[in-house]
Structures are given as C-alpha cells and as structure tokens.
Chains A and B, each alone.
Chain A
Amino acid sequence: MQTRPVIIELNAINKSFQQAERQELLVLDNINFKLHEGEIVALLGKSGSGKSTLLRIIAGLIPASSGDVWYRERPVKGPVYGMAMVFQSFALLPWLTVLENVEIGLEALGVSREERRERALKTIDVIGLDGFETAYPKELSGGMRQRVGFARALVINPDVLLMDEPFSALDVLTADNLRSDLLDLWQEKKTDTKGIIFVTHNIEEAVFMADRIIIFDSNPGSIRADLVVNLEHPRNDQDIPYRKMVDEIYGLMLSLPQGKKQSYEQDLKLRRIDLAYRVPDVNVSELMGLIEMINSAEYQGRLGMAELAESLHLNVDDLFPLVELSEIFRFSQIIEGEVELTLAGKLFAEADILERKKIFARHLIKYIPFAKRIRWVLDERPGHHASRERFLAELEDFMSEAEARHTLKIIIEWGRYAEVFAYDDKTGLLSLENP
C-alpha cells in the first residue's frame, strides 16, 4: 500500500488560535501524514483534539500556523480543485431543490446548464435520491439530506473526498445504511475518487470503514498512533478480529501518551491533578448515572470500555471525560482497560440523596484542588464571600480566558450541588451562606 502514489502530504503542521493578546492556544502540534491512492483514512480522536481543524487545513479552508500541505505535488494555499467535502450539518442550501443543490458545484465550475443537469441527475441516481429531485432539503429526513451532501460532493468527480463527521448527526440505523452504501460505491469504483479522509469520534465507525486509523491526542492535538486495519470488506462488527481492533483502540485512547507513560504507571491508583487542571465538561447526574450503571447487578462493579460505551449509548467524546472524572474523584479506576469501582464508588452508588451529597462534597474538596482553594478562600474571608471574577483571574494564570470560564462554571456547579459553597449569578458572588 505504501508504494502507491501519494495524494496528500502534510509536513510538520502546527496550528494555534489567538485567544487574547499574547495568548495563543496550540491546537495541533507537529502533524505529519500521507494519504495514498486507494486509501480510506479515519482521523479519530476526542473532542478538542483538533481533528476537524486538521481536515479544514487539508481542505485549504483555513491556513496552518506553520508547516505545509501538499496535494498532488502542489502546495495547498486555499480550496483546491479536486477536493470535495461532506459536512456534519450537511450544509445544504435550504432554498435550492435537491437537484439545484447538487448542481451548485458544477455551476461554480462554469459547466453548461445542459451538462450540469445531466451529470447531477446521474449522480442523484447513483446515490439513491431518485424521485427527490424537486424536493427541498427541509422536506427530507436527515439521512436523505446527507445523501444530497454526498451527491453534491461526488458530482464534481473529486479526486479526494473529505468528510467531517458525516454520520454523527444521523440516527444509528440511518448512519449504518449510509456507511454501507458509501463503501459499496467506493469498492465498485463507481466514482473517480482516489482517496477518502474522514473525521470521526466513533471508534466502531473508524474500524468499519477505514484502511488506516490515525488516533489523535488532545491538548494539543497530535498523532498518537497510526494503525492499519487489515480486515476484509464487508466487515462484520461481531467478528473476533474486529472486536479486538475496537478494544485495542479503546486501550490506546485511554492510556496516556508514550512520554508520560512512566509516571502514569506509578500513579495508577493515585491520579492527581493540580490547580491548572481543565475539568472535563461533566455534570453530577451523569457521573451518578455512570457509577450506578457499573454498580448494577449485571456488571458487579466492573465493566470494559467498549461495553460501557454501548450500554450508555455514548461515543468517546462523552464517555472519556466521564470516566476520567470518575477516576479523579476516586470513584473508579481503570485496570487493564476495564473500569472498576473503588470502595468509595460503591458507597456512593448505594447511598441515598443526602448521603451522596456528603460523599461528593468530601471528594470534591479532597481531589479537585481548585474547589478546595475556593472553599479555603471563603472560609478565610471575614464576610465569607468572594467574587467570581477573583477566581477567574486566578485560573487565568494557568489557562486561557475561555477555558478558565468553562472550568470555573463546572466547579461552581459541583460546589453548589455538594453545598460546599453557594453562588448567586445576579451578583456574581460565591459565599458560604445557604439560601
């Protein structure tokens, strides 16, 4: 496979966004990668790993901060001819009919009206939208809309097809159906497309479709692993090699990057965080749901990640932060790719509402340093209150303004639940009084 001609090549791509004056957030760190002819490549990662940003850099929609992108031995400096893109939210023009939406790319290329119509109708036929030519997108179901998205991209005979989480806005059955149809088109060579790159946070989807999976690390986004999937199409998600692959990827995504491995092993049972920790976006009821689920009679306090994802109907984007937080709170720990409740976790699961609050409050103060800090400040202050801005400023020493806001918002939510402190949104004051 590696001897095939290279279509796209990325050299040392970095991308950072300006957050505020003199504050830059690095979202992509030294990305190198090649797309060869005949390959489907999946970019897989948690949210915030910059994978969608990378796709847009490849597409020429946004520039990289440094490094360069090459397409067929020419540098990419803007959208190039030969690439087409399918969007997560479909990005159809609601005022154009299906036919007109499909024609738009040809229109932009200056193709004559007659040829445009003919090619569009042919593509509509191939993609299975027959009979919907005069319909407007709002008359269609999500799956049909995304078919229009595919038709619009394929009608211009793209050399490379880029897809940004193309199936994530669809329900499970529709997504399955569309994935299979796309693979059929690809394998029967009904299009001139030579390569596909798609972004996903769905591990199963990546294993089902891709020839290669590139796994991303978050904060900043970087490539952790580049796996070749050697499974025959059509793939069956019940096959043992398929399941092994899925489990392997879960394992890879859960563990810390190679460089930090050593400390992680030492610290396995005592994962500590500091003031600079960017708390994951998880609310208390989600955490309780997770712990109750693991504690249920069916799983007996221990459960593999893949099963957990399936039984909670969560994708990695939502599951990983949840598991991470549960670990930080010492309610669970990860042993050999399985999540296991700690003693505190079991107590928490079996406690009543008030008891739970107490346990949560203890763990919050003990393991989330910034929550402890807030409580300490409020205890020390004569009036037992302090403004939100004050804590925000403290957090901004460690992170960007947006992240600080986000982190503080979540910690305040936890604190209010645990009744460790109170907060009044009108005045922006944190206090110890309980209304």
Chain B
Amino acid sequence: MRDFRLKVFTEEQQRFAYPNFWDFLALSFILAVFVLIAWGAKQMALPYQVGERLPLSLSPHYLPQYALRTFLRMNIALLFSLLFTFIFASWAAKSRRAEQIIIPLIDVMQSLPVIGMLSIAIVGFIKLFPGSLLGPECAAIFAIFTAQVWNMALSFYQSLRTVPAELIEATQMFHLSAWQRFWRVEVPFAVPGLLWNMMMSMSASWFFLTVAESVTVSHQTITLPGLGSYIGLAILKADLHAVFYVILTMIVMILVYDQLFFRPLISWAEKFRVEQETTVTHSFSLLIFILKKTRLIPRIGVLWANITDRIINISIFRKTRNKENNFYKTKKNSHDYLWQAFIVFLLLSSLSILAWFIFTTLSLQQLLHVVFLGAITGLRVLVVLIVASIIWVPIGVWIGLRPKVAEFAQPIVQLLASFPANLLFPVVVLLIVRFNLNVQIWVTPLMLLGTQWYILFNVIAGASAIPKDLKLAIDNIGVRGSLWWRKFILPGIFPYYVTGAITAAGGAWNTSIVAEVASWGKTTLEATGLGAYITQYSRQGNFPFIVLGMSVMCFYVLLLNRLVWRKLYKLAINRYSLEG
C-alpha cells in the first residue's frame, strides 16, 4: 500500500511497461557486446602448435579486431584479479596466520617485473593446454593479471582492516552470517578504494601490453594478435603510420572504456563513500544517461536486485538459529610458536633453494655483476624521481589549488598514465641516433614516462586536500615566494607526495625492463642496467639468468622500501599529516 513511494515496481506497473526507443538502443548495444565477446572468445581457443607463426598485419583494417582481442584479455585478467583479491585479501584480513604469508608474498610479487613472471609461467600454461592457442593466451592473460592484481589486493586488504569497529559489532549483534557480512558490509566498504586501484591497474596493464602479448618459450617468440604485438611489430618494421594508427586506437579504447565501464562504476560507487558530507561531483556517463531513459532496463534492475538478494541471503551460509553462538576469535592459539617456526622454515628453505639454484648454475662474478647492474638502474630510478618531482610538483600544486582545473585535468592525466612507453621509442631512438647522444643517459626519459604520473596524481590530490582556511590564513599573513613553498605547501603535500613517490619508485624499477632497451626498426639501443639484463635473457628464455635478475631486483626494491620509504612514510604520517 505504501510501495509507490519506494520506487519498487508493482506487478501492474511492470505489465504495462512497454519498451521505448532507448530500450532498443540499450538492448542492441548489449547484444552487440555479447556477440563480440563470443567471437573473441572463439578466437582464443583455436588449435595451435608451438612453432607456428600467427599472422599479424600492420594494416589499420585489422586494428578493431586486435583491439577487441586485447580488450578481452585485459578484462579476463581483471576478472581474475578481482577473484584473487576477494579470496586472498579477505583471507589475509581474517586470519592472522594467512596474513603472515600472503601479505609479504604480495609485497615481493609486486616488486617482480611482469616480463619475468611471464617467462616462468608460460611453460606451465602450454603444458596445460597442448595443441591450443589457449596456452599462450593464458600466459598473456596471466602476465596482464600480474600487472593488475597486487595493488588491488592490497587496497582491499587495507579496507577490510579498517572497517569501523562499531559496524562489525552491529553485524554481530544482528547475527549476520560471515557471507552476509562480506557482501553487505565489507565489500561495499572497500569499493571506492578498490575501484580507484582498478583504474590504476588498467593503466598499468596498457603500459606492459607489448611485453605481455609476445610470449617467449624455448627460444621462440609467440606474438598473439593484439594491440600490444601490433605496437611491437610496428616498432620492428619502423612503421610510423602504424604507430600513429595504434595510438589513435588506444586513445579511443581508453575513452570508450572510461565511458562504458569506469564512469558508471564511479557514479555508482559514490554511495559507498563513508564520509558523511555529500560531495556532489557527478561525472557524466552516456551509458547511465541512456539506461535512465529506458523503461525495460529498470525492470531488469529489480530482477537483478532479487537475484543478488537471493545470493547474499542464501540459506546454506546462514547460521542455524539453534546453533550455539560463540565468541569470534577469542581462543588463544597455543600453536602460534609452531606456526611461526613453520614460516621461518619456509622462508629459509625457499631462500636456500634460490641460492642453491643461482650458485650451482652461475658464478659469484655473475652475481656481483648483476648487483652492479641493479645499482645502475637504481641510480636511474633516483634521477627519474628527482626530475619528475622538479617538473610535476609545481604543476601539480598549481592544478590542485584550483578545483575546476583539477576536475578537468584528472581524466587527462589518467589517459596519459596508460600510454605505453614503447610508443615513444621512435622519438627517443631517432633523437639519440640523430644527435649522437649517450644511450646510458637518454633512455632515462622513457622510465620517466610511466612513473611521473603517480607523483602528479598525488600532488594534485594533496594540494586539493589542503584546507581552504589554512591557505587563506597563509595568504592573509603575507607569506609568499620561497617561504610559501618551504613552510606551507611542501610540508602540506608531503604525505601525499611520499605516497606518490613510493608508487613511482616501484613503477620505475618495473619500467626499466621496457625502458632500458629501446629499439626502432633495426636500431636497438641498449643501456647498461638490470632492466636490460632481464629483458635480454627473457628473450632468450634463459631461466637461471631471469631468476637471478628478478631476485636481485626484488631484493633492491624491498631493501629500499624498508630503509628509505617506510621511514619517510612514518615521518609523513607523524609530522606532516593534516588530520589532527
């Protein structure tokens, strides 16, 4: 009787909801997407033998097809990333023992370069699907997955750890089952952070696309049809037209993806923000606009709500009423010491296996050489950070202090962040060859390309988070010039800057595998460094060298995290945080 207020469709209303023009538009769009996905999926499972060459053409006519296949790979990877995130991040958040293993593992995995993971995983996947293209396809998807998943999992884990205690108590008081709590409380709470990280992950996967789509196994390179391999071929053939076409395709794809996927999600995720004030920053989304005009779709929405309701409240997960409730996590485990001993044992044994593997196949000289290469790449990372900071901190501050500009700049920066470094190879290589520049120094800008955006993102965020009153007060007492920078804005954005710099540094190490070897046509410029080393041996499929290179890179990244970044982060939180 009161339902009319609730926008719940009564049976009568549902019967008389004739479809309108917008329904046809929306439905044909949805059907088209299904057909394309089905076609793309079929292409992925064609029969294939290792050694066969897959046809790849630089003709722009093939670009839509390649774009579709790349798109599918990225989305399948994203799906698996979400699955991984839900399972392992929540496991780590719920169980202290799982946490002790999963979180450090993610930390390590995050610091491993994509290409290395690929060379290690490919053999297994080809064995898993013999005689089918699915093997290489899975390997490529796995590589994209490794570029996406870690930050998503960490963000989800952080969110689960910070669900307000009273919300948890409320769910316990009202007897929600763990399953209900997961979908009703924990996932919604994590959605804004997770979504933001999904966007970052998509950028990262674009960035490493070229690497992911050319799979090397037993000295043979399998290039899967897709935008990444198209870029690779265009560079090999030194075809500037092709480079231009692919840049155009990518921009279109990123924009379409933003419109169809992220914008609807962002506007939907607005309601999951816990902040109590209503900040209305509605980003326009064409899809949502059309869906709102339709008549049939809202009915599907009701159906959808019914289905999710059934799933969330599925009875097997519900606690039976008569079951004795017990306190959550109150039993103290007497096996804790045993467990810790087990972890230490696990760590020591894996380290010794690694050491054994490296030292039986390689000599100490080689090891020292790789450590030296790591130091050189580390130096490049440092230079990249300094240069990026000098360029982007002032610009970021300028943008961040102007909310209108910031709103406009955000999506552009995001687009730029997804831009693969390889696409700049022609420019860099031609300049270096033309002006006879030092390769060691001038490949560094390529590393800058992928990493600078993290700094810019965070500086913009930091500058816009500075309270307006504080800025006015500083202006009011006449603080200007270098004093304004030193005493006001730099300390003000410091926590954000550190967050950005940490991500940028991690990214720069990873980018070195793409940036230290730049090629254009027959010219290949190789700088000395750990990234070049890993790339070189990955192309040859030389297992011990890949493992060595990756271990050293991982070691550097973790060591710097502990020694430098964590301390800076603590300082930022303790001294420069604007919140109380």
A94 touches B166 (CB 8 A): no
**Is residue B326 contacting chain A, with contact meaning CB distance below 8 A?**
yes
B180 touches A107 (CB 8 A): yes
Chain A nearest Cβ from B35, distance in angstroms:
34
Known: A95-B271, A110-B313. A63 touches B327 (CB 8 A): yes
B6 touches A85 (CB 8 A): no
Chain B nearest Cβ from A206, distance in angstroms:
22
**Is residue B104 contacting chain A, with contact meaning CB distance below 8 A?**
no
Known: A89-B164, A99-B6, A108-B180. A61 touches B169 (CB 8 A): yes
A108 touches B7 (CB 8 A): no
A138 touches B176 (CB 8 A): no
Chain A nearest Cβ from B260, distance in angstroms:
23
Known: A81-B321, A93-B185, A108-B175. A63 touches B166 (CB 8 A): no
Stretch at the interface among B26-34, B274-282, B496-504, B528-536: B274-282
| B264 partner residues in chain A, CB cutoff 8 A | none
Stretch at the interface among A72-80, A261-269, A303-311, A327-335: A72-80
| A152 partner residues in chain B, CB cutoff 8 A | 174
- Interface SS of chain A: loop
Q: Which residues of chain A in 89-147 are interfacial with respect to chain B, using CB atoms and an 8 Å cutoff?
A: 89, 91, 93-96, 99, 104-105, 107-110, 113, 121, 131, 133-134, 136-139
How many residues on A have C-beta within 8 angstroms of the other chain's C-beta atoms? 40
**Is residue B173 contacting chain A, with contact meaning CB distance below 8 A?**
yes
**Is residue A32 contacting chain B, with contact meaning CB distance below 8 A?**
no
A93 touches B167 (CB 8 A): yes
A91 touches B166 (CB 8 A): yes
**Is residue A87 contacting chain B, with contact meaning CB distance below 8 A?**
yes
B174 touches A104 (CB 8 A): yes
Chain B nearest Cβ from A160, distance in angstroms:
11
Cα A139 to Cα B280 with chains together (Å):
12
Q: B312-341 vs A: 1/0 string, CB under 8 Å? A: 110100100100111110100000000000
A133 touches B5 (CB 8 A): yes
A94 touches B274 (CB 8 A): yes
Cα A63 to Cα B326 with chains together (Å):
10
Cα A159 to Cα B174 with chains together (Å):
13
**Is residue A60 contacting chain B, with contact meaning CB distance below 8 A?**
yes
Smallest CB gap from B323: residue in A: A78
Q: Which of B5, B169, B315, B318 is in CB contact (< 8 Å) with A87?
A: B169
**Is residue A59 contacting chain B, with contact meaning CB distance below 8 A?**
yes
A79 touches B173 (CB 8 A): yes
A91 touches B167 (CB 8 A): yes
B174 touches A84 (CB 8 A): yes
Chain B nearest Cβ from A372, distance in angstroms:
30
| B2 partner residues in chain A, CB cutoff 8 A | 121
Known: A77-B324, A105-B175, A109-B175. A85 touches B169 (CB 8 A): yes
B170 touches A87 (CB 8 A): yes
**Is residue A278 contacting chain B, with contact meaning CB distance below 8 A?**
no
B318 touches A85 (CB 8 A): no
Known: A77-B326, A89-B164, A104-B174. 14 other contacts (CB 8 A): A56-B169, A60-B325, A79-B325, A80-B325, A87-B170, A104-B176, A104-B184, A107-B176, A109-B321, A113-B306, A133-B6, A134-B6, A136-B271, A138-B275
Closest 10 CB pairs of A and B: A78-B325, A105-B174, A91-B166, A91-B170, A95-B188, A108-B176, A85-B173, A108-B175, A95-B272, A63-B327
13 CB-based A-B contacts, threshold 8 Å: A63-B327, A89-B166, A91-B166, A91-B170, A93-B167, A94-B271, A99-B6, A104-B184, A108-B175, A109-B321, A110-B313, A133-B6, A138-B277
Residues of B within 8 A of A (CB): 2, 5-7, 164, 166-167, 169-170, 172-177, 180, 184-185, 188, 191, 271-278, 306, 309, 312-313, 315, 318, 321, 324-328, 330
